[in-house]
Structure 1
Amino acid sequence: MGSSRASNVDKLIDKLVEKNILTRSEATELIQQINEEEKKEKKEVAGTGETKDVRVPDWLGNMKVQGNSRVRFQTEDIENDKNNSYRNRERIRLRLGVETAVNDSWKAGFGFVTSSGDPRSTHQTLGDTFSLKDISVNYAYAQYTPVKWAELLMGKFKNPIWNASNLIWDGNIYPEGAAVRFKYKAAKNVELFANLDAFVLQEFSDKANDPYLIAIQPGLNLKLPGDMYFKIAGSYYDFNYVKGNDWTKDSSGNIGAGWGVGTNSRDAAGNWMYDYDSFAGNAEFGLPEISGYIPYAVLYGQYVRAIDSHDNNTGWLAGFKFGHKDANDFGRWHLSYNYRRLEKDAWPDFLSDFDSYNGNTNIKGEKIEFLFGLNKNVSLGLNYFKFDHILRTSDDTQHKMQADINMKF
């Protein structure tokens, strides 16, 4: 192998070891394998006066490694709640992912994140006498792209359903199952897209009918004059066997070990009373540079309505954001605001945004977010949440503030 290529391969393998993607023994074995292939190929060309370098395996050369980390200080308080006074926490998050093209049609990816298993929380709270923090598999998927306008996802993957914000889907949730995505350019400035998804919700060891979700989402992305754009999509969610199960339990029936909060309507046995089949809509309107100080601005909204629950069954969100699209260098900034209302039985409470009153439904309130770039790939984030319950017997407003140092690598 040429000396420069050998050096590059060694550096790449060392990087994979540093990120714990390969063990040292696996790295040594891989280097030996490459060297043996080099010797074999050199023998094949011996006597011809030619030399031939060994090519790095395609899957290794195509591998992309990326991640981010966060240090957060969070304070929260619920008014008039004597059992929940001010709570202050320092928290951390680490995410690391790998993606590689196996061949022209297939791609594989996997990622790890700090989490104890909660699909809506990837932060770990510091404390517990310097305890070690948990790492979980965040995603692991296979992607098949037979044609450029369609792809199939299988496994655990980033949510393929487009959402203008997080009214009904927490941004940390990576669904499990299969999804087919379509994207077709119908005209110069018109793009059509669609998703067809089949998600596994739960696997009960003592029941024959396991809950699952079928989702369909067609949409349109329209480019307008002056670099403006308008994106809109409608969704139908067909939940199956949510009704009749207690979502505060896990698959083995352990109470409190599930991810349901318990703010949806429940029967005397604690089981959910509805399946929450729903229609939802998302829209986003992007504006060009307003001035030299505001290079980017967006108006967005969401709406959801459950069709099998007849009262307190709607939700909506409206917001705006402006500044730079990212804050990945010094002086770049981003400000966003949204107001939302999510009624008690508008949506399952094990999927909605967890930062908004701990994932509850039956809430209304606002969120303000500000990002400022401190250096290349380092930013400061400030978030404020204020939420109330819609149906309530006392003033139980929750205030939450977060200060983040974000780093990308």
Structure 2
Amino acid sequence: MNRQSHRWVLALALAAVLAGPAVAQTATPSQADTTPNTTVHLIRLLVEQGVITAQQAQALMEQARREAVAAEQRAEPEIREGDVRVPYIPETVRDEIRAEVKDEVMAQAKEENWAAPNTLPDWASRITLFGDVRVRNESRFYSGDNSVEIFDFNEFNDENYDLRGLTQPPLLNTRESRENRLRVRARFGLQAALTDTWSAGLRIATGSSDSPVSTNQTLGGGLSKKDIWLDRARITWAPGVWNITAGRAENPFVSSDLLYDGDLNFDGVSASWGDVTFSENGAFFGTLGAFPLSYTSDDFPSRDFDKKGSDDKWLLGTQIGADWRFNEDNRFLVALSYYDFHNLRGERSSECVLYYGDNTCDTDDSAPAFMQKGNTLFLLRDIALNPADEAGTAMPQLVGLASEFELFDLNLRWDTPFIGGYKLRLAGNYVYNNGYSEEEMFRNAEGQVINNFDQNGELKSGRDAWMVHAAFGPSLDLERVGDWKVFAGYKHIKPDALPDAFNDSAFHLGGTNAKGYYLGGAYAFTDGVFAQGRWLSTDEVYGPPLAIDVLQIELNARF
């Protein structure tokens, strides 16, 4: 190669180097670092070969410096205050982030029902459905030494039994056992959240009758269809710590089945408040309620021109309590209540002339709407004898409650960890009838008390009732698969300690004048499905012998 050709080669090499910023964007760091030195060497060689002058070389060196600075500024932009520097994230990591975010968003969308808009109307998203089904095998065992003269006074009132004795009075079965009676209970309801503070709810349930204390439906009956009843229907307003409910709703009071059966619902209005803290772990709560038990009929007495004014029966209740939650598993609760069963006591009628064809007396509406057994009773009607046929005068009677019922009710409950991390619950309930007075009972009944006498003709009753209860297991509410619990308790209920219409319908088959023990256990097969067994053994407190044992084995499902 001659000298002229060598000069052109050097010039082309220099041009390529000076065009380097466009290529340098894809160069590796090591290549970018060597580019400035190469340019300087080429310019010096061109000067030595006489291709360019020293002044031209200086100009080229300055141009190369400016272009290098500009390239560096483009590669690393100036970082100013407030700028955010974003590091490089590999594509695989970005894919993982996208997948996680997508899963979280879709889960939230399904939960809040906006993944598929317009699929359901807005009101449907504010409704919650719930229910439960129970299948129970129940056996009732009666002692052969029981009295056979225990009246069924609820049926006595239903048929206005004639005291002339032309027919046998209605009597309870007291000696013939009933084994393996299959029964079901099904309840289904909904709750609608109308706003943040307003809600409504209703529930329907099975039942062999309109008894307030049982939704059990006895199977059989020639495979006939079974009845469905309105069990609850209520509207609730819950501003702040208050909860105000009107309609037919669940029991708003802290109580036990010594006084109120677990199936009992309350008609009326209640106002409850809670979460009023008085210490780090404790809070007060309370409830007020007014519940109609029965109303005087608009046209009572139906055959009289002069109608009777309102003499309605009410349950008025108030409760205050405290709840100490020391931790998740350690809790102590106390509640004191006062219940006034207003006008529940019966009234003796004025002289009642029935032999002219009338069929009512002026205090018939004071008869209880429902009874189980145990309370002291008296004859309501003062029936006048027909002067023309005194012996043949019909004597259809009704009975009423002899005692007033003004109850103080104390409930205690303690939940605490026990051996091996298991849970123990101890509970107690004491009821005292401040309205009980034997003297007042006889005066109001005008001497017509008809039951709860001993062999010497003395009234055997009482004003108090109590119970104790203990439960043990890993979870007393059977919340998880494999949870179990065992429980036992004892009750003692004197005849007029409380109204016999509303307490547990299984213990002594309902009512008062009962004492005895119960024990049982339960096991959860899966979430919402558990089996339970109970044995209840009872006797009378006073009066004719009446011993009843009850065995219940059941399967429960709730949703």
The interval holding the TM-score normalised by the smaller chain is: 0.7 to 0.9
Deviations 1:365-386 (A, max 9, x none): 1111211112332111101100
Partner of 1:286: 415
The residue type equivalent to 1:224 in the other structure is F
Counterpart of 1:319 (choices 469, 475, 496) is 469
Q: Report if the CA contact (8 A) 1:193-1:220 is conserved.
A: yes
C-alpha distance 255-76 of structure 1, shift in aligned 2 (>3 A)? farther
Q: What is the aligned partner in structure 2 of residue 75 from structure 1?
A: 139
The one-letter amino acid paired with 2:236 is: Q
Query: How many positions carry a matched residue from both structures?
Result: 354
Map 1:133-282 → 2, pairs under 5 A: 133-147=226-240, 149-163=241-255, 165-183=256-274, 184-205=276-297, 206=300, 208-224=310-326, 227-244=329-346, 258-269=369-380, 270-282=399-411
Match of residue 127 from structure 1 = 220
Structure showing greater radius of gyration is 2
Tell me: CA distance 1:398–1:245, structure 2 relative to 1, closer, same or farther (3 Å): farther
More helix by proportion, 1 or 2? 2
**Gaps in structure 1 of 5+ consecutive residues:** 13-51, 247-251
Tell me how far 1:271 sits from its aligned partner: 1.3
Distance 1:351 1:117, change over 3 A: same
Structure 2 residue 345 is matched with structure 1 residue 345: no
Alignment deviations for residues 351-405 of structure 1 (CA, whole Å, 9 cap, x no partner): 11111112221110111121111233211110110010000333x2100001101
1:68-125: CA deviation from partner (whole Å, max 9, x where unpaired): 1011111001102475411021001111110011011100000011113111111111
Q: Is the 8 A contact 2:433 2:498 kept in 1?
A: yes
Cα distance, 1:325 vs. partner? 2.1
Percent identity reads 27
Deviation string 1:5-54 (CA, Å, 9 cap, x unpaired) is xxx89xx9xxxxxxxxxxxxxxxxxxxxxxxxxxxxxxxxxxxxxxx954
2:430 corresponds in structure 1 to 303
Instruction: Name the structure 2 match of 1:15.
Output: none
Cα shift at 1:62: 1.6
Q: CA contact under 8 A between 1:114 and 1:133: conserved in structure 2?
A: yes
Aligned to 1:101: 193
Q: Deviations over 1:201-223 (max 9, x none)?
A: 11231352110011010000012
User: Hey, what's the Cα distance between the residues in 2 that align with 1:257 and 1:217?
Assistant: 25
1:87 aligned partner = 178
- 1:125 and 1:406 map into 2 onto residues whose CA distance is 16
State the AA in 2 paired with 1:312.
Answer: G
- 2:416 partner letter: L
Q: Secondary structure at the match of 1:209?
A: coil
- Name stretches of at least 5 consecutive residues in structure 2 with no aligned partner: 1-105, 149-172, 301-307, 349-362, 381-398, 438-460
Moved over 4 A (4+): 52-58, 252-257
Residue 230 of structure 1 and its aligned partner are, at CA, apart by 1.0
Give 1:155 shift.
Answer: 0.2
Residues 76 and 86 in structure 1, CA contact (< 8 A), matched pair in contact too: yes
In the aligned structure 1, how far is the partner of 2:284 from the partner of 2:344? 32
TM-score, normalised by the number of residues in structure 1: 0.81
Higher strand share: 1
AA aligned opposite 2:337? S
**Secondary structure at 1:157's aligned position in 2?**
strand
**1:267-318 Cα deviation digits (max 9, x unpaired):** 23321112201111000011124314xx211110000010121350000011
SS of aligned partner of 1:390: coil
1:252-274: CA deviations, max 9, x gaps? Answer: 97999942124211123321112
The alignment partner of 1:204 has SS state of: coil
Distance (Å, rounded) in 2 between the aligned partners of 1:257 and 1:169: 17
